[in-house]
Amino acid sequence: MADQPFSPNKVRQKLRAGKLVSGSVIYTMAPNMMNAAGWSGLDFIRMDNEHQWNRDEATAQPIQTGIAIGVETTVRVDRDDPCMARKILELGAGGIIFPQMRSATDVAEHLRYTKFPPKGIRGYASCNWAGGWGTKSGNSYVEWSDSEPVIGIMIENVEAARNIEMMMSVEGVDFALFGPADLSMSMGLRRPDQNDPGVREVLENTIEIAKNWEVRNV
């Protein structure tokens, strides 16, 4: 069977065109929630697999529903488990979010699991959802897998706050997600406080660095 065509990542495609991207978050992992997101016109849904325990069909089914309805799924994987990123990408997710990043070295190490050699250490297999069960294979599958899924990092601790620019500069990082709750805890506030002056300062700095990064990488 001839290789089947690949669909571009909807989020990446719209961002490249300078268009607004809209999305939301689900924690229930119910496929009907993803279906509703598609009919409502959302571009992406962020699924949480850091604070939710979903390592089976509970994760697979909404991702596959998203593919069918035209919604990109970005999945936040559990901390200290970068191998999970490969499995999520093989399910056909449109992106990965790595939580609790602290340095450029930390980011580079985790990103290796999302890219094929020589860019990373992801093992090759196309007999999965993303590879169309072998109908999407070879170099075209490798190039698509390395370039289309969006890879994000969390800025949510004091170490990351000092290293945002270097972390964002790591090749392969597409976006940063700000985590005010964990940043608050990391600062010793003992509670989430998104309005704390220190938290707001890091947020504003993250936004400014991200804007400058975007200009450099257009």
Extents of the domains making up the chain: 10-217
Q: Using the predicted structure, report yes or no on whether residue 135 has a pLDDT greater than 60.
A: yes
Give residue 215's pLDDT band: very low, low, confident or very high (50, 70, 90).
very low
Query: Tell me, what's the pLDDT at 218?
Result: 42
pLDDT digit string, tens, across residues 48-70: 988 887 777 788 999 999 999 99
Q: What does the pLDDT read at residue 1?
A: 45
Distance in angstroms (rounded) separating the CA atoms of residues 135 and 82? 27
Question: Residue 96: what pLDDT?
Answer: 97
120 strand-pairing partners: none
pTM for the model: 0.92
Q: Tell me: pLDDT of 115 over 50.
A: yes
Determine the average pLDDT of the residues in 169-190: 96
Look at residue 189 in the predicted model and tell me its pLDDT.
97
Residue 6's pLDDT band, with cuts at 50, 70 and 90, is confident
Cα–Cα distances in Å, from 31 out to 68, 88, 128, 140, 157? 11, 16, 19, 29, 32
Predicted pLDDT at 20:
93
pLDDT band of residue 114 (cuts 50, 70, 90) is: very high
What average pLDDT does this structure show over 142-159?
A: 96
Higher pLDDT, 80 or 100: 100
Question: What is the average pLDDT value for the chain, to the nearest integer?
Answer: 91
What is the average pLDDT across 1-27? 85
Tokens 């704390």 — which residue? Answer: 196
Place of tokens 């707001």: 200
Whole-Å CA distances, 204 to 15, 117, 180, 195, 207: 21, 36, 12, 12, 5
d(CA 127, CA 124): 9
Q: Average of pLDDT values for 28-44?
A: 91
Q: What is the mean pLDDT of residues 199-215?
A: 88
CATH architecture, domain defined by 10-217: Alpha-Beta Barrel (3.20)
